[in-house]
Structure 1
Amino acid sequence: MKHEAYIRGIGYYAPEKVLTNADLEKIVETSDEWITTRTGIKERHIAAPGEAVSDMSAAAAKAALVDAGMDADELTHIFLYTVTPDFYTPSAACLMEEKLGIRHKVVQDVNAACTGYIYGLEMARAVLALHPEAKVLVAAAEVLTSRTNWADRRTCVLFGDAAAAAVVTSEESGAQARIMDTRLSSDGSLGHLLTIKGGGSGHPYKLGDAVDEDFFLQMNGPEVFKHAVRSMAAICEELMTAQGLGNDDIVLFIPHQANWRIMEAVAKKLSLPVDKVMSTVARFGNTSASTVGIALVEARTAGRLPAGGKVLLGAFGGGFTWGSALLQF
């Protein structure tokens, strides 16, 4: 028997500190005009000293739980998608669970890079297929500025810190949206194009070693751009075809908020007008796994999720991973 999956509550958290393009002009050789024309980004949020992924994901989770009208202890599963966990161990999900004041849940960290939120929706659907009574929290959070090389003008202008969360259950009553379908994919042969290597088992440090550039995010921007557009558009088309939908059936497209040029190019490939594209990139920059979840909340606040409307999500990230999801509100 198939059990449907419904989003019951959504929320996000962004740190208080904001770093503008004007601020970056004082740090690295760049300009507001250069950043804006190439990325669409005007500002990004920066975690406070000592503010970790578990702190931000707990804050986003609390917002989603309030939105869902639920207590944290009702949750049965917590999946936290991140490439910047607090530590190797304990997992950020375990620390997040403790910060929510609960115990004895199924918790784990998962790394799907910028596609994390959509991978999380699929994970929630899978859990509910086995355990329809489950209450699943999907969280996506990053402190990417902890792995940003502020001397690299090509990458340091792109990233910010934030967290998003969604509560997913099999109960239609009180739900905000039905997860109609998801599609996921990956290609590890291209992983070298976007990396954070330093400190991992493949690039370990010894006591006393200096941190080098491999500790920070490194990216072949033109190649990532090309693959992001091609892969995100293709998997969104695959999902729409599987559901028998055309462009007119989509009321809103929420892509990964990496770069306005990528978002615009994907919309063009999908023959979707730009006025159907939800964009928060100017205010938040690229917050990796959490961007789609943040944009979903912002879309609701802006009144862009009409009852019965079908909303298409798309994302692409390091690994490479990519995916799409279709929601009906």
Structure 2
Amino acid sequence: MSELVQPREIMPLRSVVLGCGAYLPSRIVTNEELAAKVDTSDEWIVQRTGIRQRHVAAEGEFTSDLALAAARKAIGHAGITVDELDLVIVATATPDNTFPATATKVQHKLGMKRGFAFDVQAVCSGFVYALGVADSFIKTGQAKTALVIGAETFSRILDWNDRQTCVLFGDGAGAVVLRGEETAERGILSTHLHSEGEHYELLHVDGGPSSTGTVGHLRMEGRKVFVHAVQRLAEVVDEALAAQKLTARDIDWLVPHQANKRIIDGVGKKLALDPRQVVVTVDRHANTSAASIPLALAEAVHDGRIKRGDLVLLEAMGGGFTWGSALVRW
């Protein structure tokens, strides 16, 4: 009698992070340099935000250039070729042009001749949104390998005479390569996305092709944004943990959106995390919007802090209001 064939255990299809990359423009603008131009000081900025400096793109250096540099590093770190990519998503609120998508320029400059590319616009939540979109495409079989990028040149939409906003933001790009694998051991466990459009005026750009025909400048009611951020980020963190039947004690690393050190500290304390478990780059990068999480993630991966098997929690909130979280087993 032939032996019974044991059924193969069915593993979930998950989006595994194969590699990370980051790029920051070479020019650094310190608080002292800004204090020479607007009514502010290093002490005022650091006390309220934790920011000490930011990177600013050079003249003629576009969002697509930053995205491309980060993408190439992520592809190299992943150990794949461009020909293996099926999908490119660029999360950005500062595209090169109104259209076409900045992602298509990155696709072309990479030499990618197949697959598809598009942008996602959710401001500072953009990278988490893009992760969720890419994860969905992978799980439905429309893509196997995806390049997800957060890239911004916020310096181009700042009013450099407005001390309330010009001190807060910087330019940069970060990227990850995802691949669908049948595994229960690692990958994106879940993403959780939300928006609340009634508050869009609290954090917006006062221009656009349909309204003013201009790019416009960033405008923000900082205190109201702060209050909403603390509340919504706490909610979406709890949602992510509950969805996976986990607790804060299971988290190895928190990689938050880098907007304000006080908000970051607040989320870390709520989770009872050791400050050393929270990845912080806001002091050196400022708020790079959709680029902030992948920039921080790449730093912590490449310096060895985040290791195989670690549970990593990502969370962000941005204009819209949009907010979201993702749980990733590294």
- Structures share fold, TM-score greater than 0.5: yes
Q: Distance in 2 between matches of 1:300 and 1:94?
A: 27
Count of residue pairs the alignment pairs up:
319
Alignment of 1:86-165 (within 5 A): 86-131=96-141, 134-165=144-175
CA offsets 1:283-316 (integer angstroms, 9 cap, x no match):
1000000111111111123322133221111110
Tell me the SS of whatever aligns to 2:164: coil
- Larger Cα-atom Rg: 2
Corresponding residue of 1:187? 196
Q: CA deviation at 1:177?
A: 5.1
Q: CA deviation at 1:104?
A: 3.6
Corresponding residue of 1:196? 205
Tell me the SS of whatever aligns to 1:5: strand
Corresponding residue of 1:32? 42
Does residue 22 of structure 1 match 2:23?
no
Corresponding residue of 2:299? 298
Structure 1 contact 112–318 (Cα < 8 Å) conserved: yes
Structure 1 contact 8–177 (Cα < 8 Å) conserved: no
Q: If the length of structure 2 is used for normalisation, what is the TM-score?
A: 0.92
Q: Distance in 2 between matches of 1:120 and 1:247?
A: 24
Tell me the SS of whatever aligns to 2:13: coil
Alignment of 1:1-329 (within 5 A): 2-131=12-141, 134-171=144-181, 178-201=187-210, 203-205=211-213, 215-329=216-330
Q: CA distance change for structure 1 residues 39 and 55 in 2, over 3 Å: closer, same or farther?
A: same
How big is the alpha-carbon RMSD for the aligned residues of Structure 1 and Structure 2?
1.7
Structure 1 contact 132–170 (Cα < 8 Å) conserved: no
Identity of aligned residues (%): 43
Counterpart of 2:94 in structure 1: which amino acid? Answer: T
Q: If the length of structure 1 is used for normalisation, what is the TM-score?
A: 0.93
Identify unmatched segments of 5+ residues in structure 1: 206-210
Q: CA deviation at 1:172?
A: 6.3
Tell me the SS of whatever aligns to 2:231: helix
CA offsets 1:101-129 (integer angstroms, 9 cap, x no match):
22343111110111111111111111111
CA offsets 1:215-243 (integer angstroms, 9 cap, x no match):
10000000100111110111011111121
Identify unmatched segments of 5+ residues in structure 2: 1-9
